[in-house]
Amino acid sequence: MTTPETTSFAGIRRFSARFPLASRILERLLLSLLLLFAVSVMIFGGIEALPGDFASTYLGQSATPEAVARIRSELGLDQSIVTRYVDWLGGAMTGDFGNSWASGQSVGEQIGKRLGNSLFLAFFAAIVAVPLAVGLGLLAVRFRNKLPDKLINILSLAAVSLPEFFVGYLLILIFVVTYGAAVFPSTVYDSMSLLDRLNAIVLPVATLVLVVLAHMMRMTRAAIIQVMSSAYMETAELKGLGALRAIIKHAAPNALAPIINVVALNLAYLIVGVVVVEVVFVYPGMGQYMVDAVTVRDLPVVQACGLIFAAIYIGLNMTADILAILANPRLRHPR
């Protein structure tokens, strides 16, 4: 006896068998939405579980219980956690994150400005890091186990070993303290012209590039080396195809899936992991905004920044999965 449930499952299986590419992409989209919902619960619940209270912190130790209760009522903190979560999530879905408890300004408007600054920084770091990492990975494979490959590996290991704040302060010491701020300003301001901003973000961009470059390069090298051991690569070499041409024409396209994944993960880090870099260089981005909010327990700002960072990270990972699926010839051309 068939039921509506079995009929729907049979329809899903037929759709997956007939359209494997579309079904895989749809599956990634649904999983990403579920993951984002779970992360939103964790962000809201985790922040609510933190000790302390904004009303008591805001009013100080001399605050009376009546004054604390009044502030809590004005902020809606006297309602249940479920009610507050539903209201917050409903507003977040429409882009309304409420107002900052500390400044009273709209969180959405402030995030709009700060997010643009963070994306501006991450964009220029990405357009430097990604081509450079892929190029160095190809160069390391071309001269595998030779001097260029060994030098690239040593330098990449050194870069991976250095934390972001150390690299940032080292660059400030060399280019700002030693040579003066006339070379590269140590801070960035919204009132700067585009040319001045590009000059001012040289050091933050260099810090981010050094942090993510080594990982992308090493993963690119490993993915291409794995493909190079395939039988068709040996056939290409036996036909007299040059090593560099074989790598670019045959190995690199077949290693796209892992390369895309590692590039997307590092792009996600460029946007989500800029908190330390923004604090070091006093950059007016999302990371600096969230750190300032944490110090005064401005929960609407912290929750909004956390959710946006999570959405960007999940979205970039989803994009990497979808691009890897599209790069799979078995799914693009099913039999």
Collapsed DSSP state (helix, strand, coil) of residue 49: coil
CA atoms within 13 A on the CB side of 261: 9
Please report how the helices 4-18 and 20-48 are oriented relative to each other, as an axis angle in degrees rounded to 10. Answer: 120
Tokens of 261: 């994944």
Name the pTM for this structure: 0.77
Q: Give residue 79's pLDDT.
A: 82
Q: Is 246 exposed, middle or buried (0-12, 13-18, 19+ CB in 10 A)?
A: buried
Q: Can you spell out the DSSP letters for 110-150? A: HHHHHHHHHHHHHHHHHHHHHHHHHHHHHHHHHTTTSHHHH
Query: How do the pLDDT tens digits run along the chain, 335 residues long?
Result: 555 555 555 655 665 556 667 778 888 889 999 999 999 999 888 877 777 666 666 666 666 777 777 877 877 777 888 888 898 888 888 888 888 887 778 888 888 888 888 888 888 988 998 888 888 888 888 788 888 888 888 888 887 788 888 888 888 888 877 765 556 665 666 667 778 778 878 888 888 888 888 888 888 888 777 777 766 666 666 666 666 666 666 666 666 667 777 777 788 778 777 888 888 888 888 888 888 888 777 888 888 998 998 898 888 888 888 877 776 665 555 55
**Domains within the chain, CATH numbers bracketed:** 107-332 (1.10.3720.10)
> At a CB cut-off of 8 Å and minimum separation 6, what does 138 contact?
220, 224, 247, 248, 252
Distance of alpha carbon 167 from alpha carbon 159, whole angstroms: 9
Using an 8 Å Cβ cutoff, are 133 and 217 in contact?
Answer: yes
CA atoms within 13 A on the CB side of 16: 9
* Residue 284 amino acid letter: P
Q: Classify residue 106 by its DSSP letter.
A: B
Q: Give residue 199's pLDDT.
A: 80
Strand intervals (E) in 207-332: none
Distance of alpha carbon 205 from alpha carbon 198, whole angstroms: 10
Q: Give residue 234's pLDDT.
A: 64
Using an 8 Å Cβ cutoff, are 199 and 235 in contact?
Answer: no
Phi, psi of 99 (to 5 degrees): -110, 150
DSSP H/E element including 51:
none
Per-residue burial over 218-237, b if 16 or more Cβ lie within 10 Å, else e, is: bbbbbbbbebbeeeebeebe
> At a CB cut-off of 8 Å and minimum separation 6, what does 275 contact?
287, 288, 290, 291
Q: Give residue 24's pLDDT.
A: 80
